[in-house]
Amino acid sequence: MGFLEGKVAVVTGAGSGMGKATATVLAREGALVVACDISGAQEQTVAELGGQAVAAGCDISDEAQVSAVIDLAVEKFGRLDAMLNVAGIGAGGPIETLEAGDLQRMLDVNLKGMFFGAKHAVRAMKETGGGAIVNWSSLAGLIPSPNSGAYAISKAGVVMMTRQFAVEAGKYKIRSNAICPGVILTEGMGIAAAKAHPERATGNPLGRAGLPEEAGELAAFLVSDRAAYINGVLIPLDGGWSCMLA
Residue positions annotated with a catalytic role: 151
Among candidate residues 71, 81, 187, 209, the one with its CA nearest the CA of residue 134: 81
Among candidate residues 2, 6, 5, the one with its CA nearest the CA of residue 128: 6
Q: Quick one: 17 or 131, whose CB is closer to ligand NAD?
A: 17
Among candidate residues 12, 3, 239, 1, the one with its CA nearest the CA of residue 133: 12
Rounded to 10°, the helix 42-49/17-28 angle is 20
Distance CA(61)–CA(58), nearest Å, equals 9
Q: Is 1 exposed, middle or buried (0-12, 13-18, 19+ CB in 10 A)?
A: exposed
Q: Quick one: 88 or 149, whose CB is closer to ligand NAD?
A: 88
Q: What are the backbone dihedrals phi and psi of residue 75, each rounded to the nearest 5 degrees, phi first?
A: -65, -45
Q: Which residue is nearest to ligand NAD (CB)?
A: 188
Q: Quick one: 136 or 165, whose CB is closer to ligand NAD?
A: 136
Interacting residues with ligand NAD between 2 and 61 (CB under 6 A): 12-13, 15-19, 37-39, 41, 58-61
Q: Tell me the per-residue interface mask from 79 to 118 with ligand NAD, x by CB under 6 A, - otherwise.
A: -------xxxxx------------------x---x-----
CA angle, 138 as apex, 137 and 143 as ends, to 5°? 120
Q: Tell me the per-residue interface mask from 140 to 179 with ligand NAD, x by CB under 6 A, - otherwise.
A: ----------------------------------------
Number of residues that bind ligand NAD (CB under 6 A): 33
Minimum distance, C-beta of residue 1 to ligand NAD, in the bound complex (Å): 28
Q: Contact between 184 and ligand NAD (CB under 6 A)?
A: yes
CA angle, 197 as apex, 191 and 203 as ends, to 5°? 100
Minimum distance, C-beta of residue 81 to ligand NAD, in the bound complex (Å): 21
Member of 117, 131, 149, 190 binding ligand NAD (CB under 6 A): 190
Helix, strand, coil shares, percent, the chain, to 5 = 50, 15, 35
* Binding positions for ligand NAD, rule: CB under 6 A: 12-13, 15-19, 37-39, 41, 58-61, 86-90, 109, 113, 136, 138, 181, 183-184, 186-190, 193
